């Protein structure tokens, strides 16, 4: 059985005999036809009887994932419980990053839906290998451009997105995460099938106008950040596997390029319309 998903300008071809349900957050990303304009990622899932110990160099052991690497491969092992039995592993061939091979133990029966399937593809790593970063942010579309509100959880990303939707009719594309990539010299925001508790999963791509770092304040104040300050804030909200040298280097290079091209503001704000008006007045020339 083959299925196709368009996620961040990558066309994932899933080839497996496993039966799984279509998770609701992936439905908008499911496509019927192959698009030759997109880069193909061929994902094959094999069922095997035994998983042998890896001979690659171990680079990290997380509670549920072990990571390995050598000159030819990246390998990720998935554990049933912390330090428990391996139920699956995934291989990336460094010489051909269009192919992802997944091996699952035949007696493991807990692959139920699309979320379970894509977990095995290590999307954050795959995106990094394709010069894409993931930023914790609420992504809105306003006058055909993207504004990204980034901040730690609980700081008001979704609140500001909702205010822009209410007062400026901006469209909320994702309330929690945004994929960012540069294409033909321009930075784009991509909707994702992951959005935390916001439950908004739109497959929409928009050129980025502005990135706004949010902080709660006693009054509404805004300032444009220096490159040094912008890097600090954006890096802290970017999903990065810090044990992975390639991942870190790619993320740093992308963030440095983003902050040179896109204005980054610090908005200390209250959850009210005045915060919307203040930001709108500051970025008016960017639209």
The DSSP symbol for 52 reads P
Task: Tell me if residue 202 falls in helix, strand or coil.
Answer: coil
Instruction: Give 144-203 pLDDT, tens digit per residue.
Output: 999 999 998 888 899 999 999 999 999 999 999 999 999 999 999 999 999 888 889 999
79-108: burial string, b at 16+ Cβ within 10 Å, e else: beeeeeebbbbbbbeeeeeeebbbbbbeee
- pLDDT (0 to 100) of residue 147: 98
Which segments of the chain belong to CATH 3.90.228.20? 133-286
- pLDDT (0 to 100) of residue 143: 96
Instruction: Give 240-287 pLDDT, tens digit per residue.
Output: 999 999 999 999 999 999 999 999 999 999 999 999 999 999 998 777
Task: Tell me if residue 108 falls in helix, strand or coil.
Answer: coil
Beta bridge partners of 146: 141, 208
- pLDDT (0 to 100) of residue 155: 85
Instruction: Give 96-118 pLDDT, tens digit per residue.
Output: 999 999 999 999 989 999 999 99
- Assess whether pLDDT exceeds 90 at residue 32: no
- Assess whether pLDDT exceeds 90 at residue 133: yes
Instruction: Give 189-225 pLDDT, tens digit per residue.
Output: 999 999 888 889 999 999 999 999 999 999 999 999 9
Q: Which two tokens stand for residue 120?
A: 């095995």
- pLDDT (0 to 100) of residue 37: 83
Phi/psi-derived region of residue 179, left when phi > 0, alpha when psi is between -120 and 50, beta in every other case:
beta
Task: Tell me if residue 245 falls in helix, strand or coil.
Answer: helix
Average pLDDT over residues 40-49: 95
- pLDDT (0 to 100) of residue 211: 98
E-strand stretches of 175-226: 177-183, 186-190, 205-216, 221-224
**Which CATH architecture does the domain made up of 133-286 adopt?**
Alpha-Beta Complex (3.90)
């Amino acid at each position: 059985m083959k299925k196709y998903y368009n996620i961040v300008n990558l066309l994932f071809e899933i080839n497996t005999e496993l039966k799984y349900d279509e998770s609701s957050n992936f439905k908008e990303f499911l496509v019927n036809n192959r698009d030759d304009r997109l880069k193909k990622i061929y994902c094959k899932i094999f069922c095997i009887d035994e998983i042998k110990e890896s001979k690659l160099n171990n680079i990290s052991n997380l509670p549920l994932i072990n990571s390995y690497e050598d000159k030819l491969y990246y390998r990720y092992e998935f554990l049933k419980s912390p330090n428990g039995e391996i139920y699956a592993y995934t291989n990336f061939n460094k010489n051909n990053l269009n192919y992802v091979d997944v091996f699952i133990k035949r007696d493991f029966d807990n692959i139920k839906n699309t979320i379970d399937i894509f977990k095995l593809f290590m999307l954050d790593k795959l995106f990094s290998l394709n010069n894409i970063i993931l930023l914790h942010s609420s992504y809105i579309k306003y006058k055909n451009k993207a504004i990204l509100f980034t901040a730690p959880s609980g700081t008001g990303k979704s609140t500001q997105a909702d205010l822009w939707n209410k007062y400026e009719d901006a469209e909320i594309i994702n309330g929690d995460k945004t994929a960012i990539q540069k294409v033909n010299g321009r930075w784009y925001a991509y909707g994702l099938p992951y959005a935390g508790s916001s439950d908004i999963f739109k497959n929409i791509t928009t050129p980025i106008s502005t990135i706004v770092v949010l902080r709660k304040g006693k009054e509404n104040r805004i300032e444009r950040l220096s490159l040094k300050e912008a890097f600090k804030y954006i890096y802290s909200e970017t999903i990065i596997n810090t044990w992975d040298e390639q991942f870190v280097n790619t993320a740093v290079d992308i963030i440095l390029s983003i902050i040179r091209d896109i204005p980054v503001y610090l908005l200390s704000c209250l959850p009210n319309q005045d915060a919307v008006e203040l930001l709108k007045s500051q970025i008016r020339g960017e639209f």
